[in-house]
Structure 1
């Protein structure tokens, strides 16, 4: 079963972390990627730009409207994800707990129900 593990960042929280804490997060991602690659559970991962670099597109009555910024104004934003292929939801949760961001914010675990 494939699961999407989404990472959310709170810029205000991130700004309070020391350089050592930030470096530990970055190094932790390297260790996590190594783990799920070695176990064969890694499908893919991506890091995403901040909301300031986002464009939101809507089509209403056949007219395309584009605005700068994310769809939802919030104190946290989707900053990246992992897709893992695991035997169970329990394993997906176990892996989510190993992502270093989980010590500062939530990591959402959601089963992939369709792929093209």
Structure 2
């Protein structure tokens, strides 16, 4: 089964990250590199990505056939999506174990959500 691991952040956690000594930030990045390498080696990794700050987002809607693009996220939020892992593994338990390895899981929310196939809606 495929699972999407959603990593959330907020302005406060970003400030904490930015204020960490270089050694601690390096250790955090090393933890991500190890997680990514382990998932790739096990064949569970489909994709992963870090996302730009919400201020770089564009909201796209279509109104009366016209594409409307707005700057920034659609709604003001306290938390924002900071990154993702898309994995394929044998169980929800394994997906949760993987999410627990995300460094932010110690102080922020990391969500595990099953991915449904479009054929599931037919």
- TM superposition score normalised by structure 1: 0.89
Q: Which residue is equivalent to 2:67?
A: 64
Q: Which residue is equivalent to 1:11?
A: 11
Q: Deviations over 1:55-113 (max 9, x none)?
A: 11111222322110012211221121101111000110111001111112111100011
Aligned ranges for residues 80-99 of structure 1 at < 5 Å? 80-99=83-102
Offset, 1:21: 3.5
Seen in structure 2, the aligned counterparts of structure 1 residues 45 and 102 have a Cα distance that, compared at 3 Å, is same
> Aligned pair count?
116
Given the alignment, which residue of 21, 27, 31 partners 2:34? 31
**Inter-partner Cα distance in structure 2 for 1:66 and 1:114:** 28
**Inter-partner Cα distance in structure 1 for 2:77 and 2:6:** 16
The two structures, once aligned, show a CA RMSD in angstroms of: 1.7
- TM superposition score normalised by structure 2: 0.85
- Unpaired runs of at least 5, structure 2: none
Offset, 1:11: 2.3
Given the alignment, which residue of 54, 58, 73 partners 1:55? 58
